[in-house]
Structure 1
Amino acid sequence: MSDIRHLADDEVIREPGLYAMPLERHHGQPCDGVSVTSGILRGMELKSPADVWAFHQLNPGRFERPVTAALRMGQAMAALIEGGIDTLNANFVVSGGSAPRRPTIKQMIAYDEGRATDAGRESVEYWRAMEADTRTVVSQAEFDLIVAMGGVLAQSPEAAAVMSGLPEVTMAWQCPETGLWVLSRPDTVSLDGMTSDYKKMSTKGGAFDYRLVDRRITDHAYDMQMALAAESLEVLGYGWPASVGIVAQCDAPPYHVILREIPEHVLRVAQFRNRRARLRFAECLDSRRWPGPGEDTGAYQYPEWLEQRLLSEQQVANQ
């Protein structure tokens, strides 16, 4: 599509617009100035500036963020949604349950010197091939789960309609208040008024229903993520989308799918939270000071509901 520009490996974003790039590039400061993503803004709101800076790419003393199973599975499902089984296979490789143990140093030395045992040779050759493969490794069980969930998702006409837009496009624009580049990358975006994001959810033995989905939206501030997508479409000249929502899917059979639209009045509040997070990030970046939770000091307080109940009980007891 002519609206989308393909960002080459050796170029940076200098103009607002829609860009095609790998996910790693989206999170890897691809602009000619400092950029913030939805994950950064949500971290500023839900955690603390210190938590954000601890793992930030611009921090020379940063911690490396571990690749969790949940993140790996989310990336794999995104690949399946974007381009089907071919895209999944192009980005992920299965490590079978019968994989040999990783070789010891002695086994690797013996292999290189031409005196490996059959077991040592099998181990070294298998794991060197796996390490040479640039694709992300998933287990057979993880791969089967992704394919099974994808099959159910594909059979939902409602989900298909919501997710029929452009997949994995980075929307980039520059915040006039802070100078920061703002990057939004929902799973699908339609330039004629729709954007959505897919979320795999575990119930941990509970019910998979709209209540659980709404709790997850609140807990992870997915409203902020989708508000950023809506705002990005508006800033880039496509208008505020008429429909914005989350496609949630249970990760246990029969892999139910629930669609939750996020109304505009909720998105506008979340837009305020995104702006507040941008301002705070810019302030921290300029001051080089990233406050942590330990700086919020004060006296213990009852939860409001408990305080009211106990005060009432105290009054009754004192009569």
Structure 2
Amino acid sequence: MTTTVPAEAPASAAGPDPITEPGIYDMDNDTYHSHRYALSSSGARKLIEFSPAHFRYEQDHPQPVKKVWDIGNAAHKLVLGNGPELQLVDYERWDTKVAKAEVAEARAAGAVPLKRAEYDAVHEMADALRRHPVASLLFDPEHGTAERSLFWRDQPTGVMRRARLDWLPNPRSGRLIIPDYKTCVSAHPEKLEKVINDLGYHQQDDTYRSGCHALGIADADAAFVFVCQEKTAPYVITVIEVNATARRIGAARNRRALETFARCTSTGYWPGYSDDVVPVALPPWAETRDTLEYL
């Protein structure tokens, strides 16, 4: 297995020096995301679902912290044992001057501010996960390490790729299972089919498998699973594995994204949807309606 090495935090606004050697790196989340030259799974999805122009703009203008992310980030902290501190802001209303100041202070310190109901909920979520017969074993602190960053080079394009594992299991005999923790509205398997498509989990699956295989963490028969937990009581959990067809599609989408990223990086040109004049039709339903009415 590739050795884990520490990575320095960014020394300036320009970010850390580029990582040129493939490996497993111990770094915080901000440092990981600052390595913009290396393509991540979310970056690959942005490239092909929107455009290279959207991808580059998002790279140059990182999104500010959003309240909607707080529950997921807090649950990750409690489940994985790693991440930002949680701060209870115990006011009934957060629109007062005092509450706003406490929330701003928490965010400035890198903590996740939570209302009382949210604070109690994420602890109940973590408790529910520890009672789950499969999820509790997958995230057993005695048999793995939280949040390790993988960097490796794509051979066909030469592009450096990156992925941040929620959990890196310790080496073991037999089939290795690598889990990723997701919070969700519904953990019903049929609902999760849509989530896989909408959020590109099949591309994430291929990215993480590729990284683990390239770095010798896991062989070809390793399993990559998503541990999906509902954010409302009773905090139901479903562990899913993307099927072979979805994985092939995810791999093909990633390949196109890598080729696009390599081309744009080489030329310095990040186009939008098209540089040509694009013929555009009416929506099919409108065309049918108006053909019957007017033609």
- TM-score (norm. length: structure 2): 0.80
Matched length: 273
Identity %: 23
Structure 1 distance, partners of 2:210, 2:100, is 51
Q: CA deviation at 1:224?
A: 0.5
Question: Aligned in 2, Cα 1:127/1:253: closer, same or farther, shift over 3 Å?
Answer: closer
**2:34 matched to which residue of 1?**
28
Residue identity opposite 2:265 in structure 1: L
Alpha-carbon distance in 2 for matches of 1:3, 1:241:
21
* CA shift in 2, pair 1:294/1:77, >3 Å: farther
Alignment-derived partner of residue 8 in structure 2: 8
User: Take 2:104 and 2:226, find their aligned partners in 1: how far apart are those partners?
Assistant: 40
What displacement does 1:100 show?
Answer: 8.2
1:146 paired to 2:140:
no
Q: Closer, same or farther in 2 for the Cα pair 1:82/1:182, shift >3 Å? A: same
User: Of the candidates 198, 218, 223, which is equivalent to residue 197 of structure 2?
Assistant: 218
Q: Decide which of 197, 209, 227 is 2:188's aligned counterpart.
A: 209
Contact 1:244 1:263 in 2 (8 A): no
Q: Which among 272, 281, 284 is matched to residue 261 of structure 2?
A: 281
More moved, 216-225 vs 177-186: 177-186
Q: Which residue of 1 aligns with 2:86?
A: 92
Tell me what 1:272 maps to. 252
Task: Check the 8 A contact 2:2/2:23 in 1, yes or no.
Answer: no
| Residues 235-255 of structure 1, C-alpha deviations (whole Å, 9 max, x = no match) | 112322421221111112111
User: For 1:187, what is the secondary structure of its paired residue?
Assistant: strand
Deviation, structure 1 residue 159:
1.3
Q: Which amino acid aligns with 1:156?
A: H
Which SS does the other structure have where 1:72 is aligned? helix
> In structure 2, the residue corresponding to 1:273 is in which secondary structure?
helix
1:96 to 1:5, Cα distance in 2 relative to 1, 3 A = same
- Could you tell me which residue of structure 1 aligns to residue 225 of structure 2? 245
Deviation at 1:176, TM superposition (A): 2.7
Question: Are residue 160 (structure 1) and residue 136 (structure 2) matched?
Answer: yes
Cα 1:132–1:225 shift into 2, 3 Å: closer
Alignment of 1:28-177 (within 5 A): 28-29=34-35, 34-56=37-59, 62-83=60-81, 87=82, 91-97=85-91, 101-102=96-97, 130=106, 133-164=109-140, 165-177=144-156
Q: Following the alignment from structure 1 to structure 2, what is the Cα–Cα distance between the partners of residues 70 and 46?
A: 22
* Residues 36, 222 of structure 1: alpha-carbon distance in 2 compared, 3 angstrom cutoff: same
Change in 2 beyond 3 A, CA 1:37/1:102: same
CA contact (8 A) 1:247 1:260 kept: yes
TM-score normalized by the length of structure 1:
0.74
Taking a change above 3 Å as real, the CA distance of residues 157 and 284 of structure 1, as seen in their structure-2 partners, is: same
**CA RMSD of superposed structures (Å):** 3.2
Q: Distance in 1 between matches of 2:107 and 2:190?
A: 42
Shift, 1:282, TM fit? 2.0
In structure 1, distance between residues paired with 2:100 and 2:33: 35
Q: Secondary structure at the match of 2:161?
A: strand
Whether contact under 8 Å (1:171, 1:184) holds in the other structure is yes
Residue 224 of structure 2: SS of its match in structure 1?
strand
What is the deviation of 1:139? 2.6
Q: CA deviation at 1:64?
A: 4.0
Per-residue CA deviations over 1:42-63 (Å, capped at 9, x if unaligned) read 111222222211110xxxxx33
Which residue of 2 is the match for residue 197 of structure 1?
180
Tell me what 1:231 maps to: 210
Q: Which moved more, 1:294-303 or 1:190-199?
A: 294-303
Q: Which amino acid aligns with 1:5?
A: V
Alpha-carbon spacing, 1:156–1:5, altered in 2? closer, same or farther (3 Å): same
Q: Partner letter of residue 74 of structure 2?
A: A
Q: CA deviation at 1:302?
A: 5.4
Counterpart residue type for residue 22 of structure 2 = P
Provide the rounded CA distance (Å) in 2 between the counterparts of 1:276 and 1:2: 28
- Structure whose CA Rg is larger: 1
